[in-house]
Amino acid sequence: MTVITLCLTILHMNLETALPILRKPSGCIHINHDLSGPAMKIYNCLLAYVQDDIGNISEMPKFSVPKSLIVEYMRTRNDKAIQGWLKELSLSSVEFNSLGKGGPSWGFYTFIQEPEFKGSYITFGIAETLRKLIADKKMFAKINLLVERRFRKTKYAIILYELGLDYRDNKDRETGKRVTPWSTIDDLRAYLGASNAAKEFKIFNRDILKPALAEIQAETDIIMTPEFERYKKTVVKLRFVIDDNTVNMSAYDRIKRLQATLPVATGTKEVELAELMQILQRVYEVEPVSTVRKIAGMYLGRRPEFDQVCDSIDSKKLSGQIKTLGAFSRKVFEGEGMKLAMPSVLPEAPATTAAGTPAIEDLTTL
């Protein structure tokens, strides 16, 4: 393996591990979108990397993100381009609008503050008020940035995709369809950052909506179909019907979406154990049955942690990093399951032993 190939491989691995699913608050989705497409992507990348630290306002006045991560995610080594997008974020405003989904009804902030290149890192700040709003995730959409990274044709695909994810389980009481709220055409233009583009609706639909919706269907696990409200023959309002796009869904995601439509189970341990075993066997090809049962037992009552491991494996599978799914999945599920069990079975240990070697809790992170 050449040095260049090795470096690219390391960068790709960093991208997979450093960018978890972005839990983006609804208020940060329902904003003005006057930014360029690359600036939107880099903002999501920054948020995903620091999302677990955003609440530490007093301890972390500024954040640091490895520059190599941004270079890999944005597919460019052009410092001027990256600086331009960071400058765009620091000069543009976030007009926060929660649409009744938590947080203030309105607010006005800048996306980031004082971005700088410092050695191999990019540093930046986020306004304290905005940090609090981001940290208080009462309502949020789960965004896979490796999927969103595929959008390369139009920035409007990014905006509509995030809107669709945020309202994916919002059902119309009368029809049962999963839908976004109704919006006037002018409000939708403003939301997309296209107030001055394609004034005639026919052109707006042809040049902005249709290409974006086609790219969403081609690249993601949802399909968004516009539904119109007309006055006489003129379109005055529209909303989007959101359906699952099973063609682009992992097997695990198909099971999760199916379960979301089923009646709630009794919640007994036997039901939960059977469900976890089914996912381990059918989706992740773990075997034999005795191992499947043991792993499922590790995650009883810990479904959020189980789902997090599934998301991690799915991400690596989509990027082609896994050669043998069953063996890889077994190793990851067992390793993470052991970590969950350790706090309850191990006594509190000192930071180091008498010989100066790491204590037991430190060994789990090596």
pLDDT in tens, 234-245: 999 999 999 988
* Alpha-carbon 363 to chain mean position: 30
Within a 10 A sphere around the Cβ of 72, how many other Cβ atoms? 22
Q: What is the pLDDT at residue 108?
A: 74
- Residue 262 has phi, psi (to 5 degrees) of -90, 160
Is the pLDDT assigned to residue 160 strictly greater than 60?
Answer: yes
Q: Which of 232, 214, 234 is nearest to 224 (CA)?
A: 214
Give tens-digit pLDDT for 213-255: 999 999 998 999 999 999 988 999 999 999 988 887 776 677 6
Instruction: Name the percent of the chain lying above pLDDT 70.
Output: 78
Q: What is the pLDDT at residue 89?
A: 92
* CATH 1.10.10.10 residue window(s) in the chain: 1-149, 152-247
For the chain, the distance separating the N- and C-terminal CA atoms, rounded to the nearest angstrom, is 25
CATH number for 1-149 (one of 3.40.190.10, 1.10.1040.10, 1.10.10.10, 3.40.50.300): it is 1.10.10.10
Task: Pick 22 or 60 by higher pLDDT.
Answer: 22
- Report the alpha-carbon distance of residue 122 to residue 67 in Å, rounded: 6
Q: What is the pLDDT at residue 290?
A: 83
Show the tokens assigned to 9.
């491989």
Give tens-digit pLDDT for 161-188: 999 998 988 888 888 899 999 999 999 9
Show the tokens assigned to 107.
């607010």
Task: Pick 355 or 60 by higher pLDDT.
Answer: 60
Q: Determine the Cα angle at 44 with ends 40 and 47, to 5°.
A: 140
On the question of a cis peptide bond just before residue 181, with omega within 30 degrees of 0, the verdict is no
**Most trustworthy range by pLDDT among 58-62, 85-89, 126-130, 244-248:** 85-89
Is the pLDDT assigned to residue 44 strictly greater than 60?
Answer: yes
Average pLDDT, the chain: 80
Is the pLDDT assigned to residue 318 strictly greater than 60?
Answer: yes
Is the pLDDT assigned to residue 96 strictly greater than 70?
Answer: no
- Report the alpha-carbon distance of residue 320 to residue 330 in Å, rounded: 17
Q: Which run of H or of E encompasses 183?
A: strand 183-184
Is the pLDDT assigned to residue 42 strictly greater than 70?
Answer: yes
Q: Please give the CATH number for the structural domain made up of 152-247.
A: 1.10.10.10
Is the pLDDT assigned to residue 4 strictly greater than 50?
Answer: no
